[in-house]
Structure 1
Amino acid sequence: MMKVYELAKAVDPYVVSMRRYFHENPELSNQEDKTIERIGQELDAMGIRYEVVPKGGIIGYIEGTKPGKGKTVLLRADCDALPVLEKKDNLAGPRVCCSKVDGVMHACGHDGHTAILLGAAKILNEHKDEIAGKIILFFERAEENGGGMPQMLAYMDKHGITADTCYGTHLFAMLESGKIGLITGGTMSTAMGFNITIHGKGGHGSRPDQANSPIDCFVAIYNALQAARLTKITPFKPLTLSVGLLQAGAVSNVIPNDLTFAGTARLFDREEVGYPFKETLIKIVDGICAAYGCTATYNQLSDPAYPVYNDPECVEFARKVVGAELGEDVIAQPEPWMASESFSRLQKLMPGVFALVGVNNPEKGTGAAHHNEYFDIDEDTFKLAVTGTVSYALNFLESDIDTSARKWKGTMHDFFKDMGYTDEMIEAVYKKIEA
């Protein structure tokens, strides 16, 4: 078996250069045309066959020549940036590279994710004789708003593309550099969003008795929702709730007619936490509105989606093979991350592993939170991330792990339905990939 870490060190200058290119040339979700073009150029230069998925991303293929068990591994990266005005310095001083696009920044590490997967692809493609199966390269657009994944899944469905496992990397600001977090089970939460307008009856502040204040109604709703986390949901499974948008009124002495509030709940268990909380939220909003003489319009109320869930057998295998390559002291068990990720949809289709690669290095100033103007990544961690990706892929193909019983059993149409899509929404997704 080849020494993956040595190969990762050899390809590291390429990975760093690609990360800096993507960082300097960020593109927002659904606008990553030049990014996708550059990824395609790099795959062309490697001689890797690929297809561009309209509104979705790129799917590439590497076929090994080593006799194997007929398995396929999917390796994923995302590539979109965020509408954040980057600071020229990180937490310790000047950055090694800066965005050239005003108001757009890779503030979550996707520039690194894309570069890491290109580096892994380079190694794998140059060692096909060590690959006992097939590798799918999955470059996803618009992860930040979920806009790319539906088209990628529809394309895979239409063309019969499947895999036995998936592996993804997320550079992680809350874990020290030099560590790879491989958590069993719930690794990142799922989000359930809501945006609700309360319709009351406005009036003058001197006579609140003549009005039905949507503000008073909201205060009661907010307190009831906070209490519901303790009284309506199992205490053994996490749920966080936050309201981040609150809009009402224009002047201090007039009670407004309407109030709009919006926020998210984060959780790991759809069945025992997500759906019960959604039902509770509706009962609370409707009941309190009735009590206060108000009504409610649900501008948005999503079903709970999927959490990032590391399959126990697959993640234990990842710890074993990555630890053998890099040393067991590199493997960490950080707390689960309460952010959300579209990689969860791949893991619902096929068992897989999402590795959190630490980039927190105070000396380099790379510890700022994700989606923050000071966010930066420690490029020295790329070697570890590439090693983890390649090691998992190569070893899984030769392993005896059978994931067939844990793969999605229905059709892709069933899968979209389970995610809350209507027939019209599903049809629209499939039309996009025909463009």
Structure 2
Amino acid sequence: MDEKTIKQLVMAQRDYVTSMRREFHEYPEISGKEVHTRSLLIRELTRMGVDYTLLEGTGLIAVIKGSRPGRQLLLRADIDALPVQEDRMNLKQEKQCISHIPGVCHACGHDAHMAVLLGTMQALVHVRHELAGNVICCFEEGEETNCGIATMMKALENYHVDECFALHVYNGLEAGKVNIVPGPRMAGTIGIGIYLHGKSGHGSRPDQAVSTIIPAAHIVTALNSAFMNQLNVEETVTLGLGILSAGTATNVIPDQAYIGGTARFFDSQEGEKALQIINTITEHIAAAFHCTVTYEDRHNISPKAVVNDPRVTARIRRGMVQFGGQDYLGDCGRWFASECYSAYLDRYPGALGLLGIRNDTLGSGAAHHNGKFDIDESALPLGVLAELSFIFGE
């Protein structure tokens, strides 16, 4: 595939990806409830004449079959929105479109992910006669809550996949740039969900009770100290405790306390080490205060860090330069948010690209998961270019 043809394919999708992004944006659905969203995807796939398989839940897998044997390549887009009330204004002006569903909006850019992948698929359909191998297109439900990843990975056991690629729009990178580099790109998550169990009692006689508040307080301070002193300072691991709850009355010592939060990491060994530190400190302090411990199901590492394969990354970058030019490649730091796309990279060699959407003039660039979040739609064709570079790049 030559540079001129690729550029023509990309530009031909500009209006389509914009219109689809707006349609998805106006009718968002939260994780695991993306029924209308999937109906829109089915409508478009049927119009394109692309075969698809519906998964249990709301996800689906579509396959574009090439005209001759070749690589089996996978592209992925997530499809869910967030339980966030959208602000009509972005950072500077009124948005081009807003959610029509109160309390729900695409405040992370999954509407753009779907639109870009549909644009890429439409382009591939036009040049199917030049496509070697197959392109497996995954539309994954529930990324925000990780409720769809197990179903998707189970379904993919029925497919052979050589390499995978996905995009995530990113407010930390200017529009007109895409960041595709090797190594860690998004953080893994340690879910922290700790229950301390003691013995309730009257506030006037703490000696007759087994307080859970005091060991909970010790655990919180000990975790902060341990993270500072026991983890490799060259491998960043963050600790974010968001909940410390116990008791409902001032004169009653509660028999249960809860500590909840997350830790984020990029190096898998440090992540495992951090989880062990959390458990060791929790269990030893609890025992010292005669309490017992149970953990929530979410108290584990999930998802893992997103780590790009060097070989796949280099191939996509060469394709970007070949088909679009060096100027489209941009630099940005690692993103501390987490992504269950790491499950794909744990199974297949692949990469995640960060697609810039920040435009200070337009007012796009608010934080993800924020009511003012908005994207510069001019960035969408660059996403199609990146995905086509993955498909046709050498």
TM-score range, shorter chain: over 0.9
Q: Is the 8 A contact 1:109 1:170 kept in 2?
A: yes
> Aligned partners of 1:164, 1:267: CA distance in 2, in Å?
27
- The number of residues matched between the two structures is 391
> Aligned partners of 1:266, 1:220: CA distance in 2, in Å?
22
Deviation at 1:55, TM superposition (A): 1.6
Task: Give the one of 282, 287, 300 matched to 1:285.
Answer: 282
> Aligned partners of 1:234, 1:304: CA distance in 2, in Å?
21
CA-based RMSD? 1.8
> Aligned partners of 2:380, 2:174: CA distance in 1, in Å?
13
Are 2:364 and 1:366 aligned? yes
Task: Give the one of 352, 358, 383 matched to 2:381.
Answer: 383
> Aligned partners of 1:177, 1:204: CA distance in 2, in Å?
60
Are 2:196 and 1:194 aligned? no
> Aligned partners of 2:329, 2:276: CA distance in 1, in Å?
39
Q: Is the 8 A contact 2:196 2:212 kept in 1?
A: yes
Partner of 1:424: none
Partner of 1:423: none
Partner of 2:13: 11
- 1:70-92 CA-partner distances (Å, limit 9, x unpaired): 21111111111111111111111
TM-score, length of structure 2 as denominator length: 0.94
Counterpart residue type for residue 44 of structure 2: E
Gaps of 5+ in 2: none
Q: Aligned ranges for residues 91-102 of structure 1 at < 5 Å?
A: 91-102=91-102
> Aligned partners of 2:327, 2:213: CA distance in 1, in Å?
53
Decide whether aligned partners of structure 1 residues 258 and 213 sit closer, same or farther in structure 2, where only a CA change above 3 A counts: same
> Aligned partners of 1:305, 1:344: CA distance in 2, in Å?
7
> Aligned partners of 1:254, 1:218: CA distance in 2, in Å?
16
Are 2:118 and 1:118 aligned? yes
Q: Is the 8 A contact 1:173 1:369 kept in 2?
A: yes
Q: Is the 8 A contact 1:56 1:151 kept in 2?
A: no
Counterpart residue type for residue 151 of structure 1: T
> Aligned partners of 1:204, 1:366: CA distance in 2, in Å?
55
Partner of 1:161: 159
Q: Aligned ranges for residues 347-358 of structure 1 at < 5 Å?
A: 347-358=345-356
Q: Is the 8 A contact 2:32 2:57 kept in 1?
A: yes
Counterpart residue type for residue 285 of structure 1: T
Q: Is the 8 A contact 1:24 1:100 kept in 2?
A: yes
Deviation at 1:252, TM superposition (A): 4.2
Deviation at 1:62, TM superposition (A): 1.2
Q: Helix, strand or coil: the match of 1:332?
A: coil
Deviation at 1:151, TM superposition (A): 1.4
> Aligned partners of 2:196, 2:379: CA distance in 1, in Å?
48
Q: Is the 8 A contact 2:34 2:58 kept in 1?
A: no
Deviation at 1:130, TM superposition (A): 2.4
Partner of 1:296: 293
Please identify, of 199-208 and 146-155, the stretch whose mean Cα deviation from structure 2 is larger.
Answer: 199-208
Q: Is the 8 A contact 1:56 1:149 kept in 2?
A: no
Q: Helix, strand or coil: the match of 2:372?
A: coil
Deviation at 1:211, TM superposition (A): 4.7
Percent of pairs identical after alignment? 39
Q: Helix, strand or coil: the match of 1:101?
A: coil
Partner of 2:240: 242
> Aligned partners of 1:62, 1:305: CA distance in 2, in Å?
29
Counterpart residue type for residue 127 of structure 1: V
Q: Is the 8 A contact 1:178 1:330 kept in 2?
A: yes
Counterpart residue type for residue 349 of structure 1: R
> Aligned partners of 1:197, 1:248: CA distance in 2, in Å?
10
Gaps of 5+ in 1: 400-435
- 1:391-423 CA-partner distances (Å, limit 9, x unpaired): 21112xxx4xxxxxxxxxxxxxxxxxxxxxxxx
Q: Helix, strand or coil: the match of 2:60?
A: strand
Q: Is the 8 A contact 1:130 1:394 kept in 2?
A: no
> Aligned partners of 1:342, 1:242: CA distance in 2, in Å?
19
Q: Is the 8 A contact 1:75 1:137 kept in 2?
A: yes
> Aligned partners of 1:89, 1:321: CA distance in 2, in Å?
37
